[in-house]
């Protein structure tokens, strides 16, 4: 078999076999296939796509390039959840304790933030003492004993995906639906859970800007999950404005706790409870969405979700006092209010711009090895649909930096305020199961 013939076959629009896909991925890993050949195949895939069968085969080839976590010693049906990335997306922090409280084991592998989107691992590490580098044995024991554990992704899961992603990043082939779907699903499958709930974000702050593309990505990932024996449900949810009111690390942890205390913003409560309900259904705790949703509402009302959050923080070495006293979380020293310069209605808040602004304030990374300032971030004091008067505060910026004028203008420009109120977007556009 030759790399050349596989590239030619895909360039001419034919379906590749399992042997050809495996040969290519193995060749990328052992160095027998050069980066320029891998890049050529990526471009051929970009233009000609992959069939569902090829996408599943590619996913498995990526999974087999590294370690596959064996979670078989965890009792029950293990569920995981993945978001394609957004701004202010603290849903994982809310759903892990809620789903665990329903008796479903949550074995969560999460990532760090990059660019305008945040990462769950960074958010949790804002909690003093919280460890996300649990060894495999502790991770498995915690899920067995407490029904939940969360760790950062280890380097030996799907190394071929890392290699391919770095090539895609420099060859303009990132935004190919089969390549994105196989990349995301390979990491989830290698992480060993039995079922996966995917939150595919769409809108200004998301990877996918158009609803039809987001739906296609969601369908492709659900197909991969099914063909590889993992029960998978995807929701396509709105990211045309940041989720909730807080964007950053300490402040997102604080807001997630607020939700578990029965407060918080309507959009994130609705999306979190929907995802938690599907996770609990896949995990076998409920057979009906309404029952699952009612349980989640009750778990918030009775404080059961909060109890599990306290437990999660404690078992991972964090300081549980942050629940009663969030001021223990790292805080920035400067808090700058941004005011509206006109009367009207907030018709949109460009989530990507807010994410970039939060990153520039220190809350995120522009490069992989940048350090995070846990106290930095942005608080929105208004959301889409709200009425504002000239001089009203629309957001507050938190930073330890000494200069913020550029960021202030990015945030101001992110708000579209008009005399006529437009209908805000739906929270969830589609559910694919
Ligand atoms: N996230 C991933 O993990 N992979 C992609 O290809 C795109 C987003």
149 phi and psi angles, rounded to 5 deg: -165, 150
What is the reported pLDDT for 370? 84
Which is the catalytic residue, given 82, 201, 310, 382? 82
Residue 354 predicted with pLDDT over 80: yes
- HSE (side-chain half, CA atoms, 13 Å) at 216: 16
What is the reported pLDDT for 169? 86
Residue 423 predicted with pLDDT over 90: no
> Active site includes 187?
yes
What is the reported pLDDT for 153? 84
Residue 83 predicted with pLDDT over 90: yes
d(CA 270, CA 276): 10
Dump pLDDT digits (tens) for 34-45.
999 999 999 999
* Closest C-alpha to 359, from 348, 350, 371: 371
CATH topology of domain 79-323: Pyrimidine Nucleoside Phosphorylase; Chain A, domain 2 (3.40.1030)
- The minimum-distance atom of ligand 1 relative to the CA of 207 is 8
Mutation test residue for ligand 1: of 59, 84, 178, 205, the one with most atoms within 8 Å of CB: 84
User: Token pair for residue 295?
Assistant: 């349980």
Dump pLDDT digits (tens) for 59-82.
999 999 999 999 999 999 999 999
180 lines ligand 1 (CB under 6 A): yes
Strand order in the sheet with 387-388: 387-388, 344-349, 415-418
CATH 3.90.1170.30 describes domain 330-418:
yes
Dump pLDDT digits (tens) for 141-190.
999 999 999 999 876 899 999 999 989 988 999 889 999 999 999 999 99
The structure tokens 């987001």 sit at: 214
**Mean pLDDT, residues 382-407 taken together:** 95
Mutation test residue for ligand 1: of 63, 180, 200, 209, the one with most atoms within 8 Å of CB: 180
Question: Residue 381: how many CB atoms within 10 A of its CB?
Answer: 14
Mutation test residue for ligand 1: of 62, 173, 174, the one with most atoms within 8 Å of CB: 174
- The minimum-distance atom of ligand 1 relative to the CA of 174 is 6
d(CA 153, CA 240): 28
Rounded distance from Cα 186 to ligand 1 centre (Å): 10
Least confident range from 48-52, 98-102, 172-176, 243-247: namely 172-176
What is the reported pLDDT for 281? 98
d(CA 126, CA 339): 28
d(CA 9, CA 328): 59
Rounded to two decimals, what is the model's pTM? Answer: 0.94
**Mean pLDDT, residues 108-132 taken together:** 90
Rounded distance from Cα 19 to ligand 1 centre (Å): 24
CB-count exposure of residue 334 (10 Å: 0-12, 13-18, 19+) = middle
Q: Do 330-418 and 79-323 have the same topology in CATH?
A: no
Rounded distance from Cα 162 to ligand 1 centre (Å): 10
Which is the catalytic residue, given 183, 191, 250, 348? 183
Dump pLDDT digits (tens) for 279-292.
999 999 999 999 99
Query: So where are the chain's domains?
Result: 3-49, 79-323, 330-418
Please state which CATH class domain 3-49 belongs to: mainly alpha
Residue 114 predicted with pLDDT over 80: no
Residue 411 predicted with pLDDT over 90: yes
Confidence of residue 112 (pLDDT cuts 50, 70, 90): confident
d(CA 412, CA 392): 12
Rounded distance from Cα 166 to ligand 1 centre (Å): 11
Exposed e or buried b per residue across 203-212, where buried means at least 16 C-beta atoms within 10 angstroms of its C-beta = bbbbbbeebe
Residue 85 predicted with pLDDT over 80: yes
d(CA 156, CA 158): 6
β-sheet bridge partners, residue 377:
248, 398
Q: What percent of the chain has pLDDT over 70?
A: 100
Contacts of 233 (CB under 8 A, 6+ apart): 196, 197, 198, 222, 278, 282, 431, 432, 433
The structure tokens 């809620």 sit at: 98
* Closest C-alpha to 232, from 256, 183, 197: 197
């Amino acid at each position: 078999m030759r790399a050349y013939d596989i590239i030619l076959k895909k360039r001419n629009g034919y379906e590749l076999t399992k042997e050809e896909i495996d040969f290519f991925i193995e060749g990328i890993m052992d160095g027998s296939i050069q980066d320029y050949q891998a890049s050529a195949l990526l471009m051929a895939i970009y233009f000609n796509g992959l069939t569902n069968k090829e996408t599943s085969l590619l996913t498995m080839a990526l999974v087999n390039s590294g370690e596959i976590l064996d979670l078989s010693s965890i009792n029950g049906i293990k569920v995981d959840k993945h978001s394609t990335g957004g701004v202010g997306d603290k849903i994982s922090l809310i759903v892990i304790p809620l789903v665990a409280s329903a008796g479903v084991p949550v074995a969560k592998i999460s990532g760090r933030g990059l660019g305008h989107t945040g990462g769950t691992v960074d958010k949790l590490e804002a909690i003093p003492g919280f460890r996300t580098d649990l060894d495999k044995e502790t991770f498995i024991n915690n899920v067995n004993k407490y029904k939940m554990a969360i760790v950062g992704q280890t380097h030996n899961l799907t190394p071929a995906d890392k290699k391919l992603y770095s090539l895609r990043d420099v060859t303009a082939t990132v935004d190919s639906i089969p390549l994105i779907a196989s990349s995301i699903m390979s990491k989830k499958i290698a992480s060993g859970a039995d079922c996966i709930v995917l939150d595919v974000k769409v809108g200004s702050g998301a990877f996918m800007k158009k609803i039809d593309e987001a739906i296609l990505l969601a369908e492709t990932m659900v197909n991969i999950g099914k063909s590889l024996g993992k029960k998978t449900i995807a929701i396509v949810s709105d990211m045309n404005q940041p989720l909730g009111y807080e964007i950053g690390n300490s402040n997102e942890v604080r807001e997630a706790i607020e939700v578990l205390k029965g407060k918080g913003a309507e959009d994130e409560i609705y999306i979190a409870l929907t995802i938690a309900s599907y996770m609990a259904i896949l995990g076998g705790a409920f057979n009906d969405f309404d029952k699952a949703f009612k349980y989640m509402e009750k778990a918030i009302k009775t404080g059961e979700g909060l109890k599990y959050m306290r437990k999660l923080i404690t078992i991972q070495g964090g300081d549980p006092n942050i629940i009663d006293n969030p001021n223990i979380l790292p805080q920035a020293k400067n808090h700058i209010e941004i005011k509206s310069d006109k009367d009207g209605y907030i018709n949109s808040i460009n989530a990507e711009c807010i994410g970039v602004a939060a990153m520039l304030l220190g809350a995120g990374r522009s490069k992989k090895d940048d350090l995070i300032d846990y106290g930095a971030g942005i608080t929105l004091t208004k959301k889409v649909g709200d009425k504002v008067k000239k001089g009203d505060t629309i957001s507050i910026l938190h930073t330890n930096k000494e200069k913020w004028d550029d960021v202030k203008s990015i945030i101001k420009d992110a708000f579209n305020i008009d005399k006529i109120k437009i209908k805000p977007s739906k929270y969830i556009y589609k559910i694919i199961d």
